[in-house]
Chain A
């Protein structure tokens, strides 16, 4: 899966969890930019990513996620 597809799928997940269908993600987006991407929804987003992409993150990997770019890179590394 290329990074563009990953980004699209991730955008859908973020929209599903935050409830904002207008949210558009770019590689430069960070959580603070997005309404409702708070700490609790962050964990739900990570869980949804693990399930949808069928990957598994270590605790320290999750901690290293600063924004969309690091998340997309992490997913790509696992696939």
Chain B
């Protein structure tokens, strides 16, 4: 739970070999270190990565990332955390080198100009001090306020000593609240209770940080989130003088890594939002304004509202918002202008990319338009296949893993901590709004991508069989709700679907797809009628989720097999235009059909000889089934 950074993808299977191979040829090692760090790592793996960084440093390999020499002075044993900091900093594209002062020598290190930390040329010195360092270990009802002030004065003097002795910046910590109340609720009110003392000391830490220009690591917040009863481990303190539980090392290192990144300017600047099932429940192209879930009064609508609110809150502090969605542009913008319950409006979005081109190309266009690096982007997308493609093509973009439940999205983005700051000014606040509020659409450069590799990596398995009773309801539902990827938009009742099941002259196909991310269920439907030597396609529809995966070719292959089995030689088909299905106007052309005519209403007719259809090698395995077993 504490080491479970749910927003990070699992560790790659070849982690061990890849770390061992470091350092690589010049230029590639930095990217590889960052890529390996961007995964859920065990303590052992984090140690390995830290050593690989050390090897690169010793060999003088240029890493193309910011360096950081961090000194640490603590009243406690920090060895069980320092081994985790390099991997955490690499996640933020910072190559950190750590020097730890000898145990319990904070004052000596600070006030002796020739101390190790003062002479080491540190970029920053972390004062990793807890409540014990300030002798706040029990109540002081006599001189509570004066005692805190004394401790604060000593802290300020220590900060100034390090500043003048080393020219390094200083990082201060807030204090976690020990969970041992003497009263209970009354501790908060009793001047001089430990709770009261720690709270006052934390106020002093914030004041000193502001006055002395020091950075802040909010350990109190980390401990609160983890739970102070977990954070504090009495046995670990007594035995090893560890300031907090060993298993909290990763989250402490993670927050520190983010702070170092913020200091070096590597924190992210732009949140790119997918739309369907991310900003609202449902698919706008299929469900329409009335069908998407967004707004108060029902759990799913409220969950997505929270995602929009979080995006707006980020924008309030200067994070730029963009959209990257697989949709027609006009359709994608509908909720922004036409739905009363939406919080996000078009003028909140600096760049609005809604098209059918792949997301990596759109992310490149967004970065280019905003004149920021890909490494400044975070992409929020509910679809694991999209996330996988973006991570494979553009490893610089941060793509958090998301759980299945949208109610958790806002929390996990906050937990992932992409937008830490070391400073905050008026200029920062207004940055997002200064991008022209016209929700620009950027030109997408068509880049040749290695699509074949990506499709193979999905491990797709496709299965097709005729309609059956068990799936009748679902088939009927798809026939009636699919609007965009629908060639003829024929609507049928369940009774009519049942009739098609039984009709010997009907060729029916229900097509199911699964890949390594999961089972998508039925994603394609074909109804065709056999007459003479031809099979005529009455219905052909697909889920937009399987665009660009060559599923159409696979369905055609199956239809061809069924038609051949009936003795047919030709397949005929039609495209019937509607307001929503423009994207499939030329699908049959792309599949190798000949256009036999187009009438005044835009209806396109096609024919193909079954044996003349192009045979393509498809990036998927076929499951042959007589009847659907799912």
Contacts and interface: CB of A to CB of B under 8 A. Distances in A.
A52 B42 contact: yes
Contacts of A12: 44
A67 B420 CA distance: 43
A16 interface: yes
Interface in A6-64: 12-13, 15-17, 19, 21, 40, 43-44, 46-48, 50-52, 58-59, 62-63
Contact of B79 (A15, A40, A48): A40
Given A43-B80, A44-B83, A50 B44 contact: no
Interface in B199-253: 235-236, 238-240, 242, 246-247, 249
A42 to B, nearest CB: 10
Interface in B31-88: 42-45, 47-48, 51, 79-80, 83
B115 interface: no
Chain B interface mostly? helix
A59 B247 contact: no
Nearest to A12: B44
Given A44-B43, A51-B42, A51-B43, A19 B238 contact: no
B627 interface: no
B47 A51 contact: no
Contacts of B240: 43
Contacts, number: 52
Contacts of A52: 42, 44
Given A43-B240, A51-B247, A16 B79 contact: no
Contacts of A17: 43-44, 47
A43 B83 CA distance: 12
B43 A59 contact: no
Nearest to B3: A51
Contact of A48 (B43, B235, B239): B43
B1 to A, nearest CB: 10
A47 B79 contact: no
A26 B97 CA distance: 35
A74 B44 CA distance: 20
B555 to A, nearest CB: 45
A16 B52 CA distance: 12
A43 B47 contact: no
A62 B43 CA distance: 18
A13 B239 contact: no
A12 B45 CA distance: 10
A52 B238 CA distance: 24
Interface residues of B, number: 21
A42 B246 CA distance: 13
A55 B141 CA distance: 41
Contacts of B235: 58-59
B27 to A, nearest CB: 26
Contacts of B51: 19
B58 to A, nearest CB: 13
Given A43-B246, A51-B42, A51-B43, A59 B79 contact: no
A16 B47 contact: yes
Nearest to A63: B239
Given A44-B80, A47-B80, A62 B239 contact: yes
B73 to A, nearest CB: 18
Given A16-B45, A16-B47, A16-B48, A47 B239 contact: no
B534 to A, nearest CB: 62
B80 A48 contact: no
B247 A48 contact: no
B238 A59 contact: yes
Contacts of A48: 42-44
Contacts of B236: 59
Nearest to A48: B43
B247 A47 contact: yes
A58 B239 CA distance: 11
Contacts of B48: 16, 19
A8 to B, nearest CB: 13
B514 to A, nearest CB: 30
Contact of A47 (B20, B45, B246): B246
A19 B44 CA distance: 9
Nearest to B242: A43
A44 B20 CA distance: 21
Nearest to B79: A40
Contacts of A19: 47-48, 51
A16 B47 CA distance: 6
B10 to A, nearest CB: 15
A56 to B, nearest CB: 9
B254 to A, nearest CB: 15
Most buried by B among A15, A19, A51: A51
A23 to B, nearest CB: 12
Given A19-B51, A40-B79, A47 B238 contact: no
Contacts of A15: 44
B562 to A, nearest CB: 50
Looking at B45, B47, B240, the one whose CB has the most chain A CB atoms below 10 A away is: B47
Interface of A: 12-13, 15-17, 19, 21, 40, 43-44, 46-48, 50-52, 58-59, 62-63
Given A43-B242, A52-B42, 9 more contacts: A13-B44, A19-B48, A40-B79, A44-B43, A44-B79, A44-B80, A46-B246, A50-B246, A59-B239
29 contacts: A12-B44, A13-B44, A15-B44, A16-B42, A16-B44, A16-B45, A16-B47, A17-B43, A17-B44, A19-B48, A19-B51, A21-B20, A40-B80, A43-B80, A43-B242, A43-B246, A44-B47, A46-B246, A47-B43, A47-B246, A47-B247, A47-B249, A48-B42, A48-B43, A51-B3, A51-B42, A52-B44, A58-B235, A59-B238
State the 9 A-B residue pairs at the shortest beta-carbon distance, nearest first.
Answer: A16-B44, A59-B235, A47-B246, A48-B43, A40-B79, A13-B44, A48-B44, A19-B51, A16-B47
